[in-house]
Amino acid sequence: EFRLMDLPVWRDRVTAADEAELRALAKARPDLSSAAEYAAWTLTHGGRWNHLTVLVNSLGPESPVHSLAEANAFLRAEGFTLNPAGGVDGFTQGSRGVSLEQSSTVADPVEETFACGTTKEVPCAFLELIERHDGFRGFLGQNARGIFDSTNSAAWQEPQ
């Protein structure tokens, strides 16, 4: 029986060296960076949730934020680190002009104990924020690549 939040079935065979090897590949091969980082995340966490998305447009009038820019400012004031994905403000991908704006926090580090007995902090899950304009319902591929860098180990180790 498989349950979404169960540990991966290969859990007792994954060593810290396996995880580190994938992350080293990400640094050595920029063309494979995103794929290698995501593979390291999957190797460590299996079928666990990678992120949760909040549609800022649906927060309602009682919300303290009414735009993606306000949500970003709110999260930063609360001590969250945002993914330095680019954009005018350094965090927001997309624009009103392409009908989609999105940003994300950097994944929280969690302590993992690998099969070899090594315990280390690795990136876990992050929060994605989106604001849609003009009835847009899809996603933009370039934005998605930047958002998934939220689980990149280098992102959460660098101060904001």
pLDDT for residue 104: 92
pLDDT for residue 158: 44
Determine what percent of the chain is predicted with pLDDT higher than 70: 82
User: How much is the pTM?
Assistant: 0.78
pLDDT for residue 79: 94
Mean pLDDT of 6-28: 79
pLDDT at 34 over 80: no
Mean pLDDT of 55-75: 95
Cα 55 to Cα 132: distance, rounded to the nearest angstrom: 8
pLDDT tens profile 108-129: 888 888 888 888 888 888 999 9
- The winner for highest mean pLDDT among 9-18, 66-75, 115-124 is 66-75
Cα 95 to Cα 117: distance, rounded to the nearest angstrom: 46
